[in-house]
Amino acid sequence: MEKIFNQKILEKPLLVLNDIKKSFDSTLALKGVYLRAFSGKAMGILGENGAGKSTLMNILSGVFPATSGHLIWNGIQHDHFRNIKEAEHLGISIIHQEITCFNDMTVIDNIFAGHEINNFGLINYKKQKSAATKIFNLLKLDISFNEQMSKLTIAEQQMVEIAKAMLRQSKLIIFDEPTSSLSRVDAENLFKIILKLKNEKMAICYISHKLEEIPIVCDFITIIRDGNYIGEYLVNELTEDQIIAKMVGREILEKYPKKDQLIKKDILFKVEDLSNDFVKNINFVLYKNEILGFSGLVGARRTELFKSLIGYYPKDTGRFFLEDENIALHGVSSAIKKGIYYVTEDRKNDGLLLDETIKRNISLSSLKKISFLNFINLKKEKNITNQYKEKMSIKTSNLENLVRSLSGGNQQKVLLAKAFAAKPKIMIFDEPTRGVDVGSRREIYDLIYEAKRNGIGVIVISSDLPEVVGLCNRVIVMKHGEISKEIEGVNLTPEEVIKYAI
């Protein structure tokens, strides 16, 4: 066992996972994985989509048992935790990549759901509010306790989940892609919070595809590939390129495709004077063969802008021109008919049918092309879905599997495959690489560039500053529902974007 773990790490572990294996029917998701966590330290858990990271964390947090192997918690051996409550009782909390909340309940009711503060059988709302206020002040959250969760942005919902885990006074918090929907400022605030938790001797397991976060947050890393344990390392023991090579089994030479020169000649799409309850006086153009980025902090209302544009939210004023034609957009279906495809940031609630097959989800956007007299041509459907399974490198043994069975990153690939299969004139990607590993990100970027070179206009909304700068020809920065600045060329740097976002 000693040879399995890194001999340079001398601390006594709070947690040890030994030779964990997990099968789902005939699929072996984990093939013998080892993991340690230490009080006051953060262990980064790295691997591609489908490597088994989330499966491992679900075993650790009591969601389901391992097929074989055992864990040692605080010196006591367990075959597995029988349920989530048992793991929580011992002091283990998990913040899932997919937000798990009660949308119709208030923020404060979500925080204390199942853990209410009682006095003689009655909920003590005053004590609950006092406890929550302390955590919200620590996290610098400006969210009303009485607001419904459904009215919060994904980023705000995620911060509420973090507050909830902290209120449980856990000994170990598992963060599964916690910054996937956070702005740079909110992410930096989270890193400060994690440092405070470490100083209070709390153990952290940190899953992230953003490798630049790992040295900031983590002390050690464990790498998993295709369900196999690759190794445990000090955070500064490997270069980023070495980490990537161990994660994916190959070298990724460049993160982003080489940018083509932007030629401001043919305007594909134009927005004039768009205003409503969310945005004010929005004017911009999208050129043919361009990738146009939209950046801003949480609350900048980038998502609200494009939901207003496609007609999801009503507009007070505004005109849209597609290839010089004045068009009216009355909702998602209307936009798709005109050739404008919006890829939502919220795949779980708005983008995918989780209890339908992978095949059916991908083909939904192409039903008219593969149907005759309301009957689907199954051969055409199979051809289209197989094509995009290969293009997107979706990890699944069978396209008839439910989307729910996929990892978060592979669900994101299905969402993008559905969009590409529609073959629209304009593609609007809202957080296109949310929860996607570094190797798959490059595959997605290549597909976005392929779409651009085929004459499709591309708009990318992203909270990932390196992504929006590395991928886009121009970036429009938003602040409080208005355009703050348009940046391009040599001026397009993360520092310049953040300057106009704050």
Could you give all domains of the chain from N- to C-terminal order, each with its CATH number?
13-248 (3.40.50.300), 264-339+426-435+463-501 (3.40.50.300)
pLDDT of res. 133: 94
| Positive or negative torsion for Cα 327, 333, 337, 342 | positive
Alpha-carbon span 208 to 231, nearest angstrom: 17
The single-letter code of the amino acid at 475 is V
- Residue 48 and residue 440 in contact, taking contact as beta carbons nearer than 8 Å: yes
pLDDT of res. 1: 44
Q: Is the separation of the CB atoms in 481 and 304 below 8 Å?
A: yes
pLDDT at residue 252, rounded to an integer: 64
Select from 48, 58, 49 the least CA-distant residue to 24.
58
CA separation for the pair 278, 301 (Å, rounded): 7
Q: Which of 48, 39, 56 is nearest to 211 (CA)?
A: 48
pLDDT at 251: 66
Tokens of 436: 């996607």
- Indicate the burial class of 368 (C-beta count within 10 angstroms; 0-12, 13-18, 19 or more): exposed
Residues recorded for the chain: 502
At 399 the pLDDT is 92
Whose tokens are 């789902």? That residue is 24
Angle formed at CA 294 by CA 216 and CA 285, multiple of 5 degrees: 160
pTM over 0.85: no
Distance CA 313, CA 291 (A): 24
Determine the pLDDT at residue 3.
62
pLDDT in tens, the chain (502 residues): 446 888 888 889 999 999 999 998 777 889 999 999 999 999 999 998 788 898 898 899 898 999 999 999 999 998 888 888 889 888 998 887 767 788 899 999 999 988 888 888 889 999 999 999 998 988 778 899 999 998 887 778 888 988 888 888 889 999 988 887 777 777 888 898 899 889 889 999 999 988 999 999 999 999 999 899 999 999 999 998 899 889 887 666 678 888 888 878 889 999 999 999 999 999 999 998 899 999 998 788 999 999 999 999 999 999 999 999 999 988 888 898 999 999 998 888 888 999 999 999 999 888 888 888 788 888 888 999 999 999 888 888 889 999 998 887 789 899 999 999 988 999 999 999 887 877 788 888 998 998 898 889 999 999 888 899 999 999 999 999 999 999 998 889 988 998 898 8
Tokens of 389: 């399974």
